[in-house]
Amino acid sequence: MPPYVKEWSLTRRKMFSNCARRFAIKYLTDRYRELNKNYPTKRLSSWDLMILSTRQVFFQWLEDLHRNVVWSDKMLYSTIKFKIISGFNASGSLQKPGLNFDKKVLISQGYTRLKKLIRQPLLKKLARRQIKEWSYHERTKVVTFGHLDVYCSPDIVFRTGSKWNLVRLNFQSEIKQPYLDLELTTMLLWSKSNQFLPEQESKFNIYGIFYQQGKWYQKRVKPSQKGLQETKQLLENDVHQMNLLQKEFYRTNDFDTLPLTKSPLYCKRCPYKTNCPINA
C-alpha cells in the first residue's frame, strides 16, 4: 500500500486543483525515486523564479525592518537583482539564448512588485513604525490537525489594542479564488497551536494581501467558529482527494494519464510541460 498523504499547504492545494499531473510529479515522485530521473522535482520556470526571489527578498526586508534597519530604493533594487541572477546561475539558465532580455524584464517585474507591496497600507504602517508589536514567520513549521500535517502559519502577526491580526501574502494569486476566506482561515489553526495567543476567534482579524493583474489587493475575513469548521472540512476533503489521486497514480505508474489543466496560462509557467501530453 502507498504511504498515506497527510500534508496540506496552500501551494499543494492550488497545484492539485489546477493540474493533477503537475501535483503528482512534484509531490509523489519522491516516493518513486526510480522515476525521478525523468521527472525532476525541483525545477522552476523563470517566472516562478522571479516570484520566489521577490518573496525571499521581501522577508529579508522584513527581517531588517524588525531590527529597525531601513532599506533605500537602491538597496531594494540591487538585492532583487542579485537574487534573480543568482537563481539563474544556480540553474544554469544563463546559457540559454535570448535570456538577457528576459532577465531584465524579471528584475524589473520583481522590483516593481516589491515597491508596490511596501506601499500597501498595512506594510506602510509597519515601515513607519505605527505598529509596535509585530512578528514575521516563514511557512515552514507544520501544525498537527488530527491526522494531518498542515502548513498554515501567517506571514505577519501584529497586535492592535486587544486584537491580534494574522496576515498572509500571495505574490501571484489566481483571478478566481472561490475558497479564499476558508484558505485564509487556516491561519487560525496555527494560532491555536501558539500558547501565547488567545483561544477565542473573536480576538483575531484575518487578512490576505495578494498580487493580481499588476496590483496588490487586501481582503479581510472576520473569523468565526462556523468558518473554522468549514475550513477543517476543506482540509479533510483536499487530503482525501489527494490520496485518491495517489492511489490512481500507484495503480498506473503513469503521470500522463492524470487529469490536466484546462488553462493555457497555467501551462505557460509549468516546469514540466516539455513532455506533457497537452502539448502533443
DSSP 15-51: HHHH-HHHHHHHHTGGG-GGGTTTS-SS---HHHHHH
pLDDT digits (tens, 9 = 90+) for 12-34: 999 999 999 999 988 887 544 44
CB distance 209 to 167 below 8 Å: yes
Which 3 state secondary structure label does DSSP give 149?
strand
CA distance linking residue 162 with residue 246, whole number of Å? 45
Average pLDDT, the chain: 88
Q: Say which residue the cell 484575518 belongs to.
A: 206
186: which residues sit within 8 A by CB, 6+ positions away? 10, 150, 152, 231, 235
Q: What is the DSSP string of 61-121?
A: HHHHHHTTPPPPHHHHHHHHHHHHHHHHHHHTGGGSTTHHHHHHHHHHHHHHHHHHHHTSH
Please report, to the nearest 10 degrees, the dihedral formed by the alpha carbons of residues 12, 15, 17, 21 taken in order.
Answer: -120
pLDDT at 4: 86
pLDDT band at 88 (very low <50, low <70, confident <90, very high): confident
Q: Is 145 helix (H, G, I), strand (E, B) or coil?
A: strand
Q: Nine-digit cell at 134?
A: 509585530
Q: Give me the mean pLDDT over the 105-120 stretch.
A: 96
Quick one: pLDDT at residue 279? 72
Alpha carbons within 13 angstroms on the beta-carbon side of residue 247 total 7
Share of the chain above pLDDT 70, in %: 90
**CA within 13 Å, CB half, 205:** 17
Which residues neighbour 31 within 8 Å (Cβ) at sequence distance 6 or greater?
2, 3
Q: Which of the residue ranges 10-14, 45-49, 87-91, 247-251 has the most confident prediction, judged by mean pLDDT?
A: 10-14
Q: Is the pTM of this model over 0.85?
A: yes
Residue 245 pLDDT > 90: yes
Give the DSSP H/E element, type plus range, for residue 159.
strand 156-160
Instruction: In whole angstroms, give the CA distance from residue 204 to residue 222.
Output: 8
* Exposure class string for 120-145: b at 16+ Cβ within 10 A, else e: bebbeebbeeebeebebbebeebbeb
Cell 497555467 -> residue = 266
Q: What is the residue type of 228?
A: L
Give residue 96's pLDDT.
44
C-alpha angle with apex 265: 176 to 113, nearest 5 degrees?
75
Q: Kindly indicate the confidence band of residue 280, based on its pLDDT and cuts at 50, 70 and 90.
A: low
Element (H, E) at 136: strand 133-136
Give pLDDT tens digits for 60-84: 999 999 999 999 999 999 999 999 9
Give the least confident one: 25-29, 171-175, 243-247.
25-29
38, pLDDT greater than 70: no
For the ranges 199-203, 223-227, 271-275, which has the lowest average pLDDT? 271-275
Higher per-residue confidence, 4 vs 93? 4
Specify whether the backbone of 169 is left (phi greater than 0), alpha (psi in -120 to 50) or beta. Answer: beta
- Please state which of the ranges 28-32, 195-199, 239-243 shows the lowest mean pLDDT: 28-32
pLDDT at 39 over 60: no
Give the C-alpha separation, 177 to 158, whole Å: 25
